[in-house]
Structure 1
Amino acid sequence: MRFNIFLAILLLFTVNASAQKVTKEQFLEIQKKLPIEKDRTKKANLFYKAAKYYIEKDGEAKKDLDSASLLNNWSINISKQFNLKENIGQSMLLNGEIARERGNSQHSLQLKTSALNYTLANDLKKECAAAYISIALDMPANQTLKKVEYFLKAQSLYKQAGLFYKEAETYTELAILYNNLDEPAISIKYANEAVKIKRRIKQYNLYKEFAMLALNLRTQGNYKDALAYALASEKNAENMAFDDEWLSLIYDLLGTIYSELKFESKSVEYYKKAIVVAKKMDDTGAVTSITLNTARSLYSEQKYYEALEILNSASKYIDNQDCNVGYDALYILIYCDLKKYDKARPYYEQLLRCDDGSKNHIAQEIMYYAMIRYLLKTKQAGQTYAYIDKLKNLATKNNDLFNLSQLEKAHFEADSASGNYMGAIEHFKKHKILNDSLYNVNKAKQYGDLQLKYETEKKDKNIMLLTQQGKLQEEKIRNAAILRNVFISGLVILVLFVVLLYNRSRLKQLTNKKLELKQQKINDQNDQLKKLLTEKEWLLKEIHHRVKNNLQIVISLLNTQSAYLDNEDALMAIQNSEHRMHAMSLIHQKLYQSDDLESIDMSWYIYELVNYLKECFTMDIKIDYKLDNECVKLDVTQAVPMGLILNEAISNAIKYAFKDRNHGQISISLKNLEADVYRLKIADNGVGLPEGFEAKERESLGMDLMMGLTDQLDGTFKLENTNGLAIIITFTKKRQLIH
């Protein structure tokens, strides 16, 4: 019998849709900016983010909470001084979070309510939605309807504010909430809403939503779609920046679905993956639950002793040895199958003590299934009916076809043991019907859908064929009429032609001779033009070859001259000139070697230039080069300035971007934005430009050269100085003249 552990541990991982954690790297950056920031709005926001960092740090040290409170108060003071309402609203809410972390839940609720009232009064939609969610997450379990109301208000506010991603995340919260309330249909509705919004805004981190859909569809007995969504969730999580908690849950869910579909070996494979992730997080609760699932799959494969070994190995993770119904129940099932009823008895008595009416429906399922098995095996069938009826009520409420099927089987066994053979037959029939519904009806439906689709497509093809045949018949009739008219007209023309033939024959002969002479002259001219075109192409190739050779000679002369210079600046100038010469030489070399004399493939050119520059510079640091270029062909008038720009930008990045570092990355991309509009971006993750640097006040030949060359491209030149330097040039490709 399969138990629903996934629902129980899902409660641990509810995610606040409005939260966005401040990382340590971001905090260090905030520390650098705070002393020099002049803008009051930005300064208040920096204090707020610094406060968030301290409250979100691992552990709950008092000094961290004190620091968070102090920084947040500074943010509030600045915000009030300059009437920064949005900052005031978010800082008021953060004060409530600080109070909650201090353990003062009543004061926390008062502060958060004040923040909510302030944001409502000032129509701050984003901050108001965050307040609703924060208050809802702190509500006790008995205020479910109020919690749902607050989530829906937050969703509406995010939608009004145009924050559609946060709206989708709030729908995901609602899906999780209704799943925990055993309302799978409503949970599915909200999960689908979240998926629809994220796809519309092209956000594809859907693993949480897919997991919720899989979980609820499994509860409803739709294993085909549940497995499809669970596998999609796994793939999406492994391709996105995922939470370890969710990955563990997804693996556990896949293990459960495969187990219930009787693929136990696949089930154990996924459970073991889930345990690895849970141990990595040091989550003893998850390790306990998933270990229990693993042992249960081994039990289903009748690997009883291996299952016992797994259970015994997990004893160190169990916090409450007195009433752990999952473990007690599985020990009962294993020992009953091994016919060691004396070893099962202590666990049965333990479950009797645990059945105090305080357990949720999941724990009740686990207990009652095991107790039914023990009572049947120890010939106490009469005591099983009460437990069977309780479980049937739970399974009927949740539309859980799998458990209903297994309960009918248990009822059959109880009636058989009690001598009620007619009742046993009826319950066995119900078990078979439910079992067939669970495993075969879906297949029949799939076959019916496929058959219907096939018949529909066949019918559509027949209609299309008949339509085409009708059109073809009409065309034949029309062609026959045309042919008849043409024949009559041709006959008349033929008679006239015979009459005139003799008179026209001599004139025709003369005309043909003139045409032959003209055609001969045209052919001679075409031959001459082909010869001239071939000579032109040869001359162009020769020109490019000689230009390339001359540039190589200049490079060699510069290289020779550099051997006689001691001045570092002069050497650097000569080396820069060599690189620029080589950048132009590569273009002429490609044009000489290519059959296309009008344009050059810039993706090839960038690759060759990067390899050349990598060889030219001997650096102590390791630099990775990331190339992401489309096939863009430019004529020589645009290829040369672009080659020089690339040379300057990459050389400067190699020489200056990674000072005092041992590793760096240079990214180069050339993309087509729209018709004939292209963007070249050379970026590094180095130190960037110094603060206060203004391009117009530059004293750099390289920067002058790049901006001048950008003008030659008729493009725009832009610098981005964030996490390194990015040079972005947007230009329009010149159209080739048709020769």
Structure 2
Amino acid sequence: MSIARSIICLFFPLLLCLNAGAQPRLKKEISIQERWALINSAAQDSNLVDLMIEQGQHYVWMPEKLRVQLDTALLLSSRAKELAQRIHYQNGYMEARLLGVKALLEGRQLTQVVDLIRISTDKVFVVHAQMLVGISYLERPYSNKADMDTAGIWFRQAFYESRKIGYIKGRRESTRLLGRHYFESHNIRAGKEMYLGIINELHTEHNYLDEADWWIDLGYRIPDHDSTFTEKAEYMTNALLIYIRLRDIPRQIWVWGARAEVYRRQGKLQLAEAGLLKVLEMERAQGDKYLPRNYIQLMDISLFRSNLNKALGYGLACVQAIDESGDSSMAGMTYEKIGSIYSQLNDPTRSIEWYRKALTVYERNFDKGPVSRINYFLTKELIKLGKTAEALAMLHRTMKYFPPVHSLNKELVAGAFAACYTEMGQYRKAEQYYHQMLYWESRTRLGNEISAITYYSVGKFYLERKQYQQAAIYLDTALSITPGRTPVTMVKDMHLMLFQADSILNRNASAIHHLRAYQLLSDSIYSATHVKELEEIQVKYETSQKEKDIAALRQQSRMQQKQIKQSNLLKRVTFGSIILLVLLLLLSVNRYRLKQRSIQALAIKQKEITDKNSSLQRLVEEKEWLVKEVHHRVKNNLQIVMSLLNTQSNFLESEAALAAIKDSAHRMQSISLIHQKLYQSEYLSLVSMPSYIHELVHYLEDSYRGVVRIFFDLHVAPVEMDVSQAVPMGLILSEVVTNAIKYAFPNGKAGSISISLDYIGDAKLLLVIADNGKGLPADVNFAEGKSLGIRLIQTFAAQLDGQLEIESKNGLTVRLTFHQQ
């Protein structure tokens, strides 16, 4: 049922008028790519939510959607819902959720939708979701009684839930859907009751705008039937009167067109034409340049009335309106209608020209339905010119690239193949295709021009095969279709063929009736179609086209003149640029040569510098080697001096002399260690103090017996000290430690000596040597410096420009503060 309704909409522009809804002036449609660009660049606001919902709905309502498109719609629904919730956009949140429901239903995932309805606490969402489920059953392809009943159940659930929660909008919308359900189930009375109940309610509330919309929807939804056409026109009139009272011009235009379509389908072509002319007048007064759809409807009406002159005039005016508006959305249908006019004028050459223009438009848009229809009419015209093989090749191409989907299109394609095989004399094969036509007609039963074409074609086939009884049956069926839905030229031919069949079947009265009808229609068509007037219309159109071509040629000539001027200018600029480039090239070559000379000079200087640096490096290395050699020799000389002292001590008997020699040896060792560190180090003027102090202390430990009873506690920071400071500091350390070992712990008493060297400020060092021995005697005056050791310590401290402190309390503590160089 829903497919039949969709096919009606393809051929009759009523839906064009009604799609405008409450907004007769629709915003410009944008492509998927343009909308994605807007989505990617939009701010995180309600506008982005609306864009994502709109894009998702586009994927959901695509005629031949893929799984990936439905998944994209679900993803857009989820993101729109999250954003709407974050920015507190309630309407967008609801629409995003409902988009998800639509996508799931289109993907046949009804179980998930039912689960969403069951767990949802938002009753308004539940109502809308229930209505969407019902619509999915109502509009299911080839829906049956079970589908209709299921749709009714869901609509009633939505109605009762809306009434329960006091949701007026939901109650009215579910009532509308129940009305549609009854209409689809052929219960017209119940459907009207649903609509009229809400209409009365809106009228009582003085909600006239919504009331008018409901009148129009009722007129559109009530099924087409000879008994309902008057009611449909009456409902449209009710809406029109409301819009006139509200002074709503756009909606008045809309309803005038909708009612004209009802009259056209009813067969009241004069009323339909008057209504469309009224629409044309009002749209022109409004300054609307988009008039093609009205011209197309007027063309249809003139065709059905066999007023081919007027039909052609409307058609060519429509082409002009398309050219002026720049909107080619109606171009395919316009070209198709003009092709049909020339076909009825028995001008196959021009008919084919316009049909092919229409085919180009439809194929570019990949619109399979119109492609099938155009190929049928093209086939008939090509056969007239004896190009049957070309027509058959075209049909095979159509089946490969644009195979028909709906029953109506399959019906037409079968008819085209049947016509080809009939012309080729393959009657058995042709008859098979005619049977296919009848089969697909039985699936649609629209009772329109296509139905008439089917029965007319089959009847003509059997008449030519001299099967007069069968021919009469099909021709009578074609003739029974409501007047106004079949072109008069076809009706005329039906009467002629029925006259021939009835004459042979001895149905004389019927034959005479059909003969008179044929003669009457022939006279009517002849009187309505004046060859001279047609030629004038054609000449006028061709003149207009030639004027456009001349204007285009003039424009092209101006463009060519402009291009020639630009070309000449470009040549001059190019020539000047070449000269400039040559000059720049010469300058560049000259600069390059100068640069090369500079580079060569620099390279020579660089070599000289490198050679000097290498020479200096060798001198530095030689100097370092010499310095290391000096330190090594000094250390060796000191070792020789120490050996001499040790040898001399073997020949001395005085204890004082032996002690003096031993102390001198210790001092020599302190200096020797420094020179040893220097020639072993990479840095010839810096001594690593942690390593030096540890080695010096170990040496002093090894020099005296019984030192094992003394514990040494060392805390030395990683200090690198210049040799000029390391020597006096080492001698101070040697003097203090030697005195502590010798005098601080008499009679083999155990004790400890602590040594620490650390920074106490920027480049400021503190040396602390302390023991826990008996300390200095009370009568010793450090300031007088009578002993050699004290004088040496004072002298070395002065060399370091340091501050020396000696404290004899709980042992002896020596503190030396100095700045590192």
TM-score category, normalised to shorter length: 0.3 to 0.5
TM-score with structure 1 setting the length: 0.47
